[in-house]
Structure 1
Amino acid sequence: MRRVTFAVDYPPSLAHPMHRRLDESAVSRAELLMWGPMDTVTTLAWYDGTPGAVRSLLDPVESITAVDLVAGDGGTYAFVHQTEYELGAPVLDLVADSGVVFLPPVTFEAGGRARVEAVGESEFLAEFHADLREHVDATVERVADFRRWSTPAVDVTPRRHEALAAAVAVGYYDVPRTGSVADVAAELDCAASTAGELLRKGEAALVRGFVGRPRRQS
């Protein structure tokens, strides 16, 4: 089986109301972590903003009936209850009828872009991609074999996570590499030496978590 990361650019007519409001709020990213069965419409998400900013982002969404906010991990977790998902009907129907499985998180970014990972057989993934492109601008960012490895336990601070995310965005981990530490520093608005240190420490935590070895005490 294959694991594919899709980048999807939603037009305002198909985007969730929360997603459309990201451009106007103090929150720039939302990560949908868990979602309930279609008939309960209960989700758990993480936002890169304060509880107050998240409340301001979500309150105007009319389908939301209740929100519970908990600060954590450099942002805010939100348990959200809705009367309907409010994603554009063509895309929602496509997701419900597809022959692939979707993995959390689904990441929503300011500007209308979302990133989602799907797992399935190549023919079904290709079919999903083709059907998706009939409604939105969707590109394939990454393709890999799917493995049933558990998620490695890692301890990455929010700032190091931000640096790693910036490095991915600027192409620092592309093969061949298309971005530099200086590019990461520009994204973070910090010195190149600081960006380099954040990347090294973040990478070290990821590798230790992946191989399952604790940090050696000096």
Structure 2
Amino acid sequence: MKRITFQTEYAEPVHPIQAAVGDTPATTRADLLCWSPTPDGTALAWFDAAQATIKALLDGVNPVVDASLHEDTTGTYALIEESQLELRQAALDIVADAAVAFPPPVVFYGNGTVRFDAVGISGALNDLHGQLQKQTTVRIETVQEYRPESSPGLLTNRQREAISSAISVGYYKIPREGTVADVADTIGCSHSTAGELLRKAERSVMTAVVDQ
């Protein structure tokens, strides 16, 4: 099995919340952490902005009927309830037809870009890539052998995303090709935040290796 990170670029946002992120200068992205594919969709998401900003953003999105918010040092988590699932049908069809798994997060940027991982056998991943190419501009960021994690909670989603981005920009190559600034640009955060995410992730991984 392989794990591929895809980046797609849509001419228009695939969801009203993504459009609202693009219209809100204080935030640049929404990470979909988990969701229920029901007619009245419920989702857990993370935004890179303060709670007050996200409350105002979600209040202006028509299908959102309720949202419970929690702010921490990285941004704001939101448990969102929609009156109906407003994700673009073409995107839903691709997900439904794909014989692969989609581990979280799915990252929606305000400029229309969507970044996500898919896990599966090569044939199914190739089929997914082909279907995506019919709908949008798509780029493959990384291709890795899938390795089940002995400790699923070892890294947070943000730490895992930072590590994945660091690999894709060449931060861990010898000689090093990418920088912390490149990682920060890729995942949409400040230089200091990217550095902290990488250090904490590296500490967690190395501690787990030493303790084995």
Match of 2:111 in 1: 111
Match of 2:152 in 1: 151
C-alpha change, 1:168 and 1:204, in structure 2 (3 Å) is: closer
C-alpha change, 1:184 and 1:209, in structure 2 (3 Å) is: same
Inter-partner Cα distance in structure 2 for 1:81 and 1:199: 30
* 1:19 counterpart letter in structure 2: Q
Give identity over the alignment, percent. Answer: 36
Which ranges in structure 1 are unaligned for 5 or more consecutive residues? Answer: none
Which ranges in structure 2 are unaligned for 5 or more consecutive residues? Answer: none
Shift of 1:17: 1.3
TM-score normalised by length of structure 2: 0.80
C-alpha change, 1:82 and 1:201, in structure 2 (3 Å) is: same
Inter-partner Cα distance in structure 1 for 2:210 and 2:37: 34
C-alpha change, 1:209 and 1:55, in structure 2 (3 Å) is: farther
Inter-partner Cα distance in structure 2 for 1:138 and 1:189: 27
Residues 1:53 and 2:53 aligned together: yes
Inter-partner Cα distance in structure 2 for 1:185 and 1:44: 23
Q: Which moved more, 1:172-181 or 1:130-139?
A: 172-181
Match of 2:90 in 1: 90
Question: What secondary structure is seen at the aligned counterpart in 1 of 2:38?
Answer: coil
Residues 1:62 and 2:62 aligned together: yes
Inter-partner Cα distance in structure 2 for 1:113 and 1:37: 21
C-alpha change, 1:161 and 1:105, in structure 2 (3 Å) is: closer
Which has more radius of gyration? 1
C-alpha change, 1:170 and 1:5, in structure 2 (3 Å) is: closer
* 1:21 counterpart letter in structure 2: A
* 1:153 counterpart letter in structure 2: L
1:104-143 maps to which residues of 2 (within 5 A)?
104-143=104-143
Match of 2:78 in 1: 78
